[in-house]
Amino acid sequence: MAGIPNVGVVGVGQTDFVTRRTDVTFPELVKEGADLALADAGMTMKDVDAVVFPLAPDALIGVGNGERWCVEALGAVGKPFMRVNNGGATGMSAVIAAWTHVASGLFDVVLVAGADRVSESGSAQSVLNKMWDVGYERPIPLNTITMLALSAARYMHAYDSDETDMALVSVKNRRHAALNPHAHIRTPITVDEVLASRTLAWPIKLGDACPSSTGAAGVVLVSERYAKAHGLRPAWIRGLGQNTETFWMGDRVGPKMVADHGDADSLAVAFERAYAQAGITDPRSQVDVAEIYAPFSSVELHVIEAAGLAAKGETPARLAAGEFALGAPGPVVNPSGGVLCSNPIAVTGAVRVVESALQVLGRAGDRQVPDARVAIASAIGGDHQFYSTMVLSNDLEEIA
């Protein structure tokens, strides 16, 4: 980014994502992710200047202001400490906040550390219903599944798509997740099995949906001067973008809509901002890996398009042709299995950064995309309202 100091990711960590952890308290779980990231960076908390703490709605962990519970467990007493919360975008927005603190010159080392215990909330969808307007939209009752079922139906209508196209996303991501030891759901699935699974809110079925995951993640960001002084090899953050969408679901449907709920045009703007900073002009040829936020198979269809990896309505045909998968030419989408296979909401966006960094550093194991140099990541929060995007690369040369 011209004129802005370079910031890199030098340490990442993630626990295995599961349905429930009974062996640790929430602060202990957060510390697991932080310790993994710090060890990966070759650091301790003594080296950290500040901490950014991603935490989605408090009700998901059952403790108000849960960030206060974790300061001592992290060993962060006396250090600047900031909480970030904007739903599913929380984890990546926290990384962007940390980037801002480093790029400003205020700090050299910032830790992003958090966790979530979604399935332990009792009813995550009841909690997430509270994001809508209390008088007009909450009583329907909307939740993330019904909200995105409306989006899926709109996409199908606009682009002559069907449920099989959604199933192809699930098949691809489950096949990738089988290679990822941290993924919550690692069992491969077939198109027929997806189509035969229980309907949650048409056209979304159980096979199209993410799990409610428990787990932690951490990311360590450093300034270029710190990296050079300590001989570190970061995954460099080359571009980032954020954008917001209208709060009202009713503004995304009908003849007077201000945004089409079947597309993700506001996310596309966030990607354009990140691409402009990174010098990316043709994502299809310049991007090797995309770790995108898509908790339901239908969402991946329009996020691929918002990222500029396919034209609007083009994704289903390209999926059917085998594209976007490990081993296929062109960008690989969600080689980790993505959000569809692990969704610890508060850190889901951070995991996208973790996976992207691993890819460009060549450390992604069995899910590694060969010769990956440039990765993009995204996260979506609220009622499909908050968008965060990022471009990472393994060097600071011009992206060709």
What is the per-residue pLDDT across 60-78, written as a single tens digit (0 to 9) for each?
Answer: 777 888 899 999 999 999 9
* pLDDT value of position 60: 76
Q: Residue 4 to residues 28, 41, 239: CA-CA distances in angstroms? A: 36, 23, 11
Whether pLDDT at 129 is above 70: yes
* pLDDT value of position 134: 84
Question: What is the full DSSP assignment across 167-181?
Answer: HHHHHHHHHHHTT-T
Looking at residues 253-281, what average pLDDT do you find?
Answer: 94
Q: Can you read off the two tokens belonging to residue 347?
A: 């850190």
Torsion of Cα atoms, 196 then 197 then 200 then 206, to 10°? -140
| CA 220 centroid distance within chain | 17
% of the chain beyond a pLDDT of 90 = 83
User: Average pLDDT of the chain?
Assistant: 94
Q: Residue 269 to residues 255, 265, 276: CA-CA distances in angstroms? A: 23, 6, 11
d(C-alpha 191, C-alpha 196), whole Å: 9
- How many other C-beta atoms can be found within 10 angstroms of the C-beta atom of residue 17? 27
State the pLDDT confidence band at 113, using cuts at 50, 70 and 90: very high
Whether pLDDT at 28 is above 90: yes
State the pLDDT confidence band at 1, using cuts at 50, 70 and 90: low
Whether pLDDT at 252 is above 90: no
Q: Which residues contact 356 (CB under 8 A, 6 or more apart)?
A: 235, 289, 291, 375, 376, 377, 390, 392
- How many other C-beta atoms can be found within 10 angstroms of the C-beta atom of residue 281? 11
d(C-alpha 148, C-alpha 143), whole Å: 9
Of 39 and 256, more confident:
39
The model carries a pTM of 0.97
Q: For residue 277, which amino acid is it?
A: Q
Q: Residue 195 to residues 154, 206, 209, 319: CA-CA distances in angstroms? A: 19, 9, 12, 17
State the pLDDT confidence band at 148, using cuts at 50, 70 and 90: very high
Say if CB 151 and CB 202 are below 8 A apart. no
Of 333 and 144, more confident:
333
Q: 3-state class of 227 per DSSP? A: helix
Q: Residue 362 to residues 30, 358, 369, 398: CA-CA distances in angstroms? A: 26, 6, 8, 19
According to DSSP, the residues that pair with 54 across neighbouring strands are: 84
d(C-alpha 107, C-alpha 125), whole Å: 38
Whether pLDDT at 255 is above 90: no
State the pLDDT confidence band at 139, using cuts at 50, 70 and 90: confident
| CA-based radius of gyration for the chain | 19
Say if CB 205 and CB 195 are below 8 A apart. yes
Whether pLDDT at 257 is above 70: yes
* pLDDT value of position 185: 98
Looking at residues 93-98, what average pLDDT do you find?
Answer: 98
Least confident range from 44-58, 137-151, 194-208, 270-284: namely 137-151
What is the per-residue pLDDT across 167-207, written as a single tens digit (0 to 9) for each?
Answer: 999 999 999 999 999 999 999 999 999 999 999 999 999 99
State the pLDDT confidence band at 2, using cuts at 50, 70 and 90: low
d(C-alpha 400, C-alpha 395), whole Å: 12
Sign of CA dihedral 133, 343, 176, 40: positive
State the pLDDT confidence band at 340, using cuts at 50, 70 and 90: very high
Looking at residues 231-248, what average pLDDT do you find?
Answer: 95
Whether pLDDT at 132 is above 90: no
Helical segments of the chain, H only: 26-41, 71-74, 90-103, 124-128, 144-159, 163-177, 191-196, 224-229, 265-278, 283-286, 297-306, 315-320, 345-360
* pLDDT value of position 329: 95
d(C-alpha 354, C-alpha 11), whole Å: 9
State the pLDDT confidence band at 160, using cuts at 50, 70 and 90: very high
Exposed, middle or buried, 64 (CB in 10 Å: 0-12/13-18/19+)?
Answer: exposed
